[in-house]
Structure 1
Amino acid sequence: MSIVLEVDGISKSFDGQAGAKAVLSDVSFHVKEGEFVSLIGPSGSGKTTLFHLIGGLAKPTGGDIRIHGRSTVGERGNIAYMPQQASLMPWLTVAANIELALDIAGIDRQDARSMAREWLERVGLKDGIAESYPNLLSGGMQQRVSFLRALLSPQPLMCLDEPFGALDALTRMQMQSWLLSLWEENRRTVLLVTHSIEEALLLSDRILVLSTAPAAVIREITVPFSRPRKDALWSNPDFNELKREIYDLLKPVR
């Protein structure tokens, strides 16, 4: 598999009243084509800052970011991004929200319209939902639309930033299973930020564990469970052993 994303020695500091504050320190990793990789770390460890750097919204203090071997530091438009909140435009219908994202990505409007409606039906959002407005949808349904918008965007890398963090526990579990089944069909290259150890283990091929700020990668874990993943995985002793191992890595040092 070819390497889609390379994060090479990335550091980031912010200037403050007390001087420069280091958030990221010499962070390096890669994501291969068709791979699902999760970043997990304590709150405030710089995970979202790292996403901003990968997406070109900010520039690192040091290091390089390459997509398909080309440096993209400070360059926008190279990733498909799914934020913590669905961030759908309330004045547009569900279908129009997806069409707009595809239109901005350079896809022909007629093709974007056909793709939006075809995929809404494929992921179970039918019965008039395409012409509904976002405020009429549940939180889980809004996140489905947001994920579909990212999935259909032509960029080579999908970055998912705590996409289910605002959902209740049951809806979150349902959305994890839904995302997993949809990803299995398409195998897009995904980088996920999450605070949930269970979510990372359920979804990922590899997990990168970050330290407290200034964040560095302190462990890379290859998830050993075969695909497709099943709900029974939650009761697997190896699953729970890995969960404890990651939890221990994330515990604050006293």
Structure 2
Amino acid sequence: MTTPALELKGIHKEFDSGRKKVLNGLSLSVAESEFVSIIGPSGSGKTTLFQLIGGLEKPTAGEVWIGGKHTTGSRGHISYMPQQASLMPWRSVSANIELALEIAGIERKDAGRQAREWLDRIGLLEYADSYPHVLSGGMQQRVSFLRALLSPQPLMLLDEPFGALDALTRQQMQQWLMAIWEQNRRSVLLVTHSIEEALLLSDRIIVLSSAPAVILEEIPVPFARPRSPQLWREPLFNELKQHIHDLLH
């Protein structure tokens, strides 16, 4: 039996000396190479949960285990992609990627070569020597995802990575993310407000209640991979979408 990429054991989180309860005994896991989405109402503690997994906060009770190691309150065990691309504006696009490779222990010369190879694979090689401000929002998010993908940590946390994009760009980015993930199969935990996005991308969806959050249901996503861009036309897709919508409301 393989060790889960992530295990949360009975996570409670309170603020203001217990007056504000955010998480109420959450236990969940992400298997190796599994893509799991968390969806819940605004204010249900999804951001707090990511801070706990990343070691930026400590739970009031419960434990975080990453790759079979007890990591509660400890940083440096995850790669993270935020809502905004947050690329370093003073470094070129290639240099932003090279940094992730160098942190992973790759020599600078090899990092430069690999960065350009990866930028070519995602269709952005012509921007290798440009600075992030010349890229569109979707392009910046591609570079941001690539930087997270190439970081050495095996677990990736994606925090509503496409939430700031327009609908068409978001749809294109979802398809792009699926294609890149299929090639690498990293363990991913995604937070999203979009039911369609969760169904399109995930192996499993975890639905949270409003705060203090508990898990309402864990839903295996039954669609084969690679996923079809026309998946939303299938009756089962819309049945699951309605079911999750009803859970959230």
Please give the range of the TM-score, normalised by the shorter of the 2 chains: over 0.9
TM-score by length of structure 1 reads 0.95
CA distance in 1, matches of 2:248, 2:20: 21
Matches within 5 A, 1:89-104: 89-104=88-103
Residue 43 of structure 1 is matched in structure 2 by 42
CA distance in 1, matches of 2:41, 2:105: 37
Q: Distance in 2 between matches of 1:24 and 1:61?
A: 9
Query: How much does 1:104 deviate?
Result: 3.3
- Aligned residues: percent identity? 70
Runs of 4+ in 1 over 4 A off after TM superposition: none
Aligned counterparts of 2:13 and 2:192: Cα–Cα separation in 1:
20
- In the alignment, the residues of structure 1 paired with residue 246 and residue 149 of structure 2 have an alpha-carbon distance, to the nearest angstrom, of 33
Q: Supply the distance in 2 between the matched residues of 1:231 and 1:24 (Cα, whole angstroms).
A: 35
Offset of residue 15 of structure 1: 1.1
Q: Where do 1:144-159 residues align within 5 Å?
A: 144-159=142-157
* Equivalent position of 1:237 in the other structure: 235
Deviation, 1:109, is 2.0
- Matches for 1:73-152 after TM superposition, within 5 Å: 73-127=72-126, 129-152=127-150
1:50 Cα offset (Å): 0.3
Q: How big is the shift at 1:99?
A: 1.4
2:102–2:108: 8 Å Cα contact kept in structure 1?
yes
1:181-230 CA distance string (max 9 Å, x none): 11111111100000000000000000000000011111000000011101
Paired residue type of 1:12: K
In structure 2, the gaps of 5 or more residues are none
In the alignment, residue 14 of structure 1 is paired with which amino acid?
F
Q: Distance in 2 between matches of 1:155 and 1:15?
A: 33
Segment of structure 1 superposing worse, 190-199 or 92-101: 92-101
Contact 2:103 2:151 in 1 (8 A): no
Residue matched to 2:53: 54
Gaps of 5+ in 1: none
| Structure 1 residue 114, shift from structure 2 partner | 2.0
Cα distance in 1 for partners of 2:248, 2:161 equals: 21
Q: 2:148 & 2:77 partners in 1: Cα distance?
A: 12
Verify the 8 A CA contact 2:103 2:152 in the aligned structure 1.
Answer: no
The Cα shift of 1:103 comes to: 2.5
Calculate the aligned-residue CA RMSD, in Å. 1.1
- The CA deviation at 1:111 is 2.7
Q: Secondary structure at the match of 2:5?
A: strand
With normalisation by structure 2, the TM-score equals 0.97
Aligned amino acid, residue 96 of structure 1: A
Distance 1:205 1:230 in 2: 14
- The whole-number CA distance in structure 2 between the counterparts of 1:179 and 1:30 is 22
Q: Distance in 1 between matches of 2:3 and 2:121?
A: 29
Higher mean alpha-carbon deviation, 199-208 vs 113-122, is at 113-122
Pairing 1:164-183 to 2, within 5 Å after superposition:
164-183=162-181
**What corresponds to 1:5 in structure 2?**
6
